């Protein structure tokens, strides 16, 4: 067991900076790791995640309970017609949480983009796009836009054009 000194204004352990974490040092920081830490079971103690230069790593828009590998973005689709197009397919379980949207219209036609919850679903976002470079960026989109469970994200233009790019950052979680 590590030596521990507790005084009127002092608590210290015996593990120095850059030393291998062993024993039971008093933690005021965390563990350095260039890779994402391995998940632990509920109710287990976890270390704060620091990079190898001592900077705290945080991921505020990426929760720990993401459904499965591949259940997060970014995704990019190119729209050219006024038909509905799937941007993100409906997940088998959980909901799509949209955290950022980036759109650009490189066509010579002004057009409106609607983003919907499911095919034929409710329009939750509608934006006109100027011709020849019109677009927008919503990053970060906070709080994330949570679609209903097992519902696809659909995009639709109000007219046919040559090229509208829709880029979405997302994750699937409960």
Which pTM does this prediction carry?
Answer: 0.66
What is residue 64's predicted lDDT score, i.e. its pLDDT? 57
What string of DSSP letters covers 83-96?
Answer: S-EEEEPPPSSSEE
Render the burial of 73-103: b for 16+ CB within 10 Å, e for the rest.
beeeeebeeeebbebbebbeebbbbbbbbbb
Task: Give the model's pLDDT for residue 135.
Answer: 92
pLDDT tens digits, one per residue of 64-90: 566 565 688 899 999 999 999 999 999
Q: What is the pLDDT of residues 119-129, one digit of tens each?
A: 999 999 999 99
- Residue span(s) of the chain under CATH 2.60.120 come to 75-173
Of 27, 83, 75, 33, which Cα lies nearest the Cα of 55? Answer: 33
Contacts 24+ apart (CB under 8 A), 26-35: 26/2, 29/54, 30/56
75-173: which CATH architecture?
Sandwich (2.60)
pLDDT at 11: 55
Pick the range with the lowest mean pLDDT from 19-23, 70-74, 154-158.
19-23
Of 3 and 164, more confident: 164
55 against 104, higher pLDDT: 104
- High-pLDDT (> 90) share of the chain, %: 49
pLDDT band at 48 (very low <50, low <70, confident <90, very high): confident
Looking at residue 148, what is its pLDDT? 96
Neighbours of 113 (CB within 10 A): 22
Give the pLDDT confidence score for residue 130 in this predicted structure.
96
**Beta strands 85-88 and 134-138, pairing class:** unpaired
Cis peptide before 74 (omega within 30 of 0): yes
- Flag whether pLDDT at 115 surpasses 90: yes
Cβ neighbors of 131 (< 8 A, separation 6 or more) are: 105, 107, 108, 109, 110, 111
CB of 129 closer than 8 Å to CB of 105: yes
């Amino acid at each position: 067991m590590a030596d521990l000194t507790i005084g009127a204004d002092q608590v210290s352990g015996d593990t120095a900076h850059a030393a291998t974490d062993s024993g039971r040092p008093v933690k005021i920081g965390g563990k350095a790791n260039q890779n994402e830490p391995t998940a632990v079971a509920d109710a287990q103690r976890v270390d704060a995640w620091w990079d190898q230069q001592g900077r705290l790593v945080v991921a505020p828009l990426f929760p720990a309970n993401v459904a499965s590998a591949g259940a997060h973005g970014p995704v990019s689709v190119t729209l050219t017609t006024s038909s509905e197009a799937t941007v993100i397919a409906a997940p088998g379980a959980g909901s799509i949480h949209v955290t950022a949207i980036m759109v650009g219209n490189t066509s010579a036609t002004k057009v409106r983009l609607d983003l919907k919850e499911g095919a034929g679903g409710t329009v939750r976002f509608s934006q006109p796009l100027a011709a020849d470079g019109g677009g927008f960026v919503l990053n970060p989109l906070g709080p994330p836009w949570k679609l209903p469970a097992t519902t696809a994200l659909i995009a639709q233009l109000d007219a046919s054009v040559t090229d509208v790019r829709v880029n979405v950052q997302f994750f699937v979680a409960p």
